[in-house]
Chain A
């Protein structure tokens, strides 16, 4: 019994090694039975709601199925995959996604780390202010994203008012959501507003994980604060920063709700990130087979990221 635990009681080991009458096994559940009884339902639920549908998606991705039509299903082989990979619209949407992911991560990391560093100065009342800063990330991106539409209104919105108040630019001379050049930044701003606290919180944990004695030693060596930052603070907090970056990367690669409500992918297809394209193909054009193939491609991409994430996560945990 390769899986018998070293910690298992002797009785368990005996029970596992010798066949037990069924009746007794039920009456006094062995640890193994309990383990499966406890884990089984979760696995079953995930098989039903996640794995089975995933397999179905794979199958659909090789068909011409359209969920709004009752025409017979025809196998089309890998046609969808090759047409997706050569479709300029898909590549455009991957570019839009990359722009969004890249800039949100850069800004959130820089601002989040800076905030964490400042909070770690432990000024009076930093606990309360930290909690306040954390609020946006707990809120529904959809509901809050919807309200940001109001803030971005060129004529009456608070955002344009603030910008015009601070810079003197005419408030209706620019439109955050309607302008091809600005819309990609409009969604970045909202994401940064919502999720910088997330990066901040993780960075803060990283900063606080640095033992004081290292700084003390640096002080003894008369290392300048600047040098301390570069050679102690940053490298030691790096695993945490990486963790935050990877998490935000995966989340924003999947981004749907906030962008869907804020711009819906517009103007034109300017902010059409991958999930929006997928939603349009799957639930508006009802190209089920085609969008299934796209979904699989996205899933493979995310799965790759997730793998990297778990490895990094383990490294952080080992510290």
Chain B
């Protein structure tokens, strides 16, 4: 014991010395993003940047379920961990108003970077605050939207096609509406295919971060849910909790109860993709970023996978916007180098390679290229989906708004508490309070 003690104190003294010594190092940048396929592709892509500029790239990737939690905490703590951050679209309001991000207008002007070169929806969604004003806080980096994949190989089985047609009276194929989607999910739920029990659909149900909200909104929008009175901002009574919205929420719960695999009570992107990859489900809701990986998957990819945009509902046809812009963190000590990275990243040839490696470029010259649609089997679905996007609040109070929705929706859909109407009424109350606190109403 005694020797151990001496050793330990020697070690400890050494460690304290190391810890307090400032870490002076060669030029290097830390980029923060979520831990997912596109981030790994960005690591690969950024090797070119290091080659060109001599600036080392370090990465901090956090799983989606902790992404907002972790990085909003980091930004709010004025931390210096991230020089560049690819932050979620909804953070833009808070990050702009609280000075977390460097405003990029001057930099864009100086370097001839034009926002008109980018897909319009992504500029509004990822870069602007206030929305629809030319104030840019980030550069659209990764376009993303919720869509669906399905098991084409199962859909093409003649015996299933026949049985389906007999039962529902229409040809088994990618659904156009949510009612059709539910019929397909019901059809596959519990069915045995190739000796394995399979299930209908995998949808978002995650509680901790933003999962269930990013899932349920796809249905809510289609059923007529509105965030606010189009005539009167922040007036939510009768829009958030309209009879249509209630129907939409009820539909989502029915879908969850009837047609998801067992244990699907806390599913977000990772778990949803895993459910599809392991051959458990016929339909799979997820952000488009999962598509390149799934298409390359040896078990369910290639000919076995098909893609379709979020189906329409009785009152509209929308899809939840995902995706992010890349921003320079105001607390960083290496802002100049960080801007150099953006300057490099925006180059058309880099953007083209970005798409090749699995990143969804937002540059018009990439997505409007005539060859784009043919370049990947999911390219068309991606374009169709990007055309119908709608996003969650991007207000500075976004985190609070999101937490309220997560709780209300999860309590109703997964934990069986109260009715849909009660859940949305409570949501209106929560949101009203938040906006009141914030001085918006």
Is B50 at the interface (CB under 8 A from chain A)? no
On whether the beta carbons of B265 and A68 are closer than 8 Å, the reply is: no
Is A296 at the interface (CB under 8 A from chain B)? no
Q: Which of A265, A269, A283, A287 contacts B69 (CB 8 A)?
A: A283
On whether the beta carbons of A269 and B415 are closer than 8 Å, the reply is: yes
| Residues of chain A contacted by B263 (CB below 8 angstroms) | 153-155, 172, 175, 177-178
On whether the beta carbons of A69 and B208 are closer than 8 Å, the reply is: no
| Residues of chain A contacted by B72 (CB below 8 angstroms) | 68
Is B375 at the interface (CB under 8 A from chain A)? no
On whether the beta carbons of A270 and B415 are closer than 8 Å, the reply is: yes
A68-B399, A264-B208 as given contacts; A173 in contact with B415, CB under 8 Å: no
Is B400 at the interface (CB under 8 A from chain A)? yes
Is A266 at the interface (CB under 8 A from chain B)? yes
| Residues of chain A contacted by B277 (CB below 8 angstroms) | none
**Residue of B264, B265, B410, B437 with most chain A CB atoms under a 10 A cut-off:** B265
| Residues of chain A contacted by B28 (CB below 8 angstroms) | none
By size class, the interface of chain B is 20 to 34
Is B94 at the interface (CB under 8 A from chain A)? yes
Is B45 at the interface (CB under 8 A from chain A)? no
On whether the beta carbons of B264 and A266 are closer than 8 Å, the reply is: no
CA distance A100 to B9 in the complex (A): 40
Question: Which secondary structure dominates chain A's binding surface?
Answer: loop
Is B370 at the interface (CB under 8 A from chain A)? no
Is A251 at the interface (CB under 8 A from chain B)? no
On whether the beta carbons of B207 and A179 are closer than 8 Å, the reply is: no
Q: Which of A68, A267, A280 contacts B98 (CB 8 A)?
A: A68
Please give me the residue from chain B that is nearest to A153 by CB atom: B263
Is A1 at the interface (CB under 8 A from chain B)? no
Q: Which of B69, B99, B280, B439 contacts A71 (CB 8 A)?
A: B439
| Residues of chain A contacted by B98 (CB below 8 angstroms) | 68-70
Please give me the residue from chain A that is nearest to B434 by CB atom: A285
CA distance A153 to B407 in the complex (A): 23
Is A67 at the interface (CB under 8 A from chain B)? yes
On whether the beta carbons of B265 and A285 are closer than 8 Å, the reply is: no
On whether the beta carbons of B262 and A266 are closer than 8 Å, the reply is: no
| Residues of chain B contacted by A219 (CB below 8 angstroms) | none
| Residues of chain A contacted by B411 (CB below 8 angstroms) | 268-269
Is B417 at the interface (CB under 8 A from chain A)? yes
| Residues of chain A contacted by B414 (CB below 8 angstroms) | 178, 180, 266-268
On whether the beta carbons of B207 and A268 are closer than 8 Å, the reply is: yes
| Residues of chain B contacted by A71 (CB below 8 angstroms) | 438-439
| Residues of chain A contacted by B242 (CB below 8 angstroms) | none
Is B416 at the interface (CB under 8 A from chain A)? yes
Is A284 at the interface (CB under 8 A from chain B)? yes
Is A286 at the interface (CB under 8 A from chain B)? yes
| Residues of chain B contacted by A268 (CB below 8 angstroms) | 207, 407, 410-412, 414-417
- Residues of B374-415 at the interface with A, using a CB-CB cut-off of 8 Å, are 396-397, 399-400, 403-404, 407, 410-412, 414-415
On whether the beta carbons of A178 and B76 are closer than 8 Å, the reply is: no
Q: Which of A68, A172, A265, A283 contacts B207 (CB 8 A)?
A: A265
Is B266 at the interface (CB under 8 A from chain A)? yes
Is A61 at the interface (CB under 8 A from chain B)? no
| Residues of chain B contacted by A67 (CB below 8 angstroms) | 76
On whether the beta carbons of A267 and B439 are closer than 8 Å, the reply is: no
> In the complex, given contacts A180-B415, A268-B411, what are 17 additional A-B residue pairs having Cβ atoms less than 8 angstroms apart?
A69-B94, A69-B98, A69-B397, A172-B263, A177-B266, A179-B265, A264-B266, A266-B207, A266-B266, A266-B414, A267-B265, A267-B410, A267-B415, A268-B410, A268-B412, A284-B69, A286-B400
5 sampled A-B residue pairs with Cβ under 8 A? A64-B437, A67-B76, A68-B98, A70-B98, A172-B263
